[in-house]
Amino acid sequence: MATIRWGIIGVGNVTEVKSGPGFRKARNSSLVAVMRRNGALAEDYARRHGVPKWDDDAQKLIDDPDVDAVYIATPPDSHASYTKMGAAAGKPVYVEKPMARNVAECEAMIEACRAANVPLFVAYYRRSMPRLLKIKELVDAGSVGEVRSVQVTMHRRLHLPSNEPLPWRVIPEISGGGHFVDVGSHMLDFLDYVLGPIREARGFAVNQAGAYPAEDHVTASFSFESGEVGVGDWYFSAFQNVDRTEIIGTQGKIVYSTFDETLLELVTSAGTESFPIPYPEHVQQPLIQTIVDQLNGEGICPSTGDSAIRTTRVMDQLLAEYRAGAAS
């Protein structure tokens, strides 16, 4: 099998532990080049992580003959443009989540990669994490009977650094929305993986705390193509942190946290069974491995542009009215 040589565009915080080392530690994979607009920071990252090449020009990294595939780890407002550049160079593209700021940008990315005949992967890495794969295993095995409904609750305390600019994650022009787009996308995408596509979503998005321009509270009801229904509440100026999803069936339920390791339980009439499965050291490494394997013709990555656009479509439906109001 060939060694896939990766280049990273945008070596910010997410690449320090979550993703960057995974490209070196995955089988048949290496990290050969990194780019950041601030060249000094790119050089520092390369030195600390043992990467042989660095640059402050994305096009140079993409065109480097030693780079086989490109990982785009920038904020969402540049995902579409960098994806098109990678596709034009004939390089497979792996892009951070959310895939883009809206469905229109996602469609442009998919079309660019399709026209260039290169694959497009998206970093919804919970589709490959052992802890969450246990949930899919339990559902597929019928451990809760036939799934009927889903309940999602994500509450977080409001925390903004004082005397500093707002983080890009709550600036819609950069991120596409607020924390709902950032973390809610993971939750919705994983449900898509376990239960299948969401057919329709309705809800409300509001800004209650007024701490930043993006929505800070989203409520939703949604239905899956396979017949299940669900509700969700994402609230980011709460008095306490809550991360709880329940997948409820005719014979029991699965209760889990999406972002920490505190909760994964199967609850049935026989009792409650817990599954203490830890996160991997580098949370993206299992998904990176599936990408490398697919590029070598040895497997299939479960997270692609075609799957990720469905999550963006759901978020667009839920945020449409809020975005229209903010633009007026």
Over the range 240-277, which residues count as b (16 or more CB within 10 Å of their CB) and which as e?
eeebebbbbbeebbbbbbbeeeeebebbeeeeeeebee
Q: State residue 310's pLDDT score.
A: 98
What domain range includes position 288?
Answer: 4-125+284-300
HSE toward the beta carbon, residue 222, CA cutoff 13 A: 29
Query: pLDDT of 118-151, one tens digit each?
Result: 999 999 999 999 999 999 999 999 999 999 999 9
Total domains present in the chain: 2
Contacts of 35 (CB under 8 A, 6+ apart): 7, 8, 9, 10, 11, 42, 54, 55, 56, 57, 58, 60, 61
Over the range 133-144, which residues count as b (16 or more CB within 10 Å of their CB) and which as e?
bbbbebbeeebb
Domain at 54, CATH number = 3.40.50.720
The residue behind tokens 């692609």 is 304
Residue 296 sits in the same domain as residue 254: no
Q: Please tell me the pTM assigned to this model.
A: 0.96
Between CA 77 and CA 273 the distance in angstroms is 43
- Kindly give the parts of the chain with pLDDT less than 50: none
Residue 120 sits in the same domain as residue 12: yes
Q: State residue 328's pLDDT score.
A: 66
Residue 144 sits in the same domain as residue 104: no
Q: For residue 276, say if its preceding peptide bond is cis, omega within 30 degrees of 0.
A: no
The residue behind tokens 């109001």 is 325
Residue 164 sits in the same domain as residue 88: no
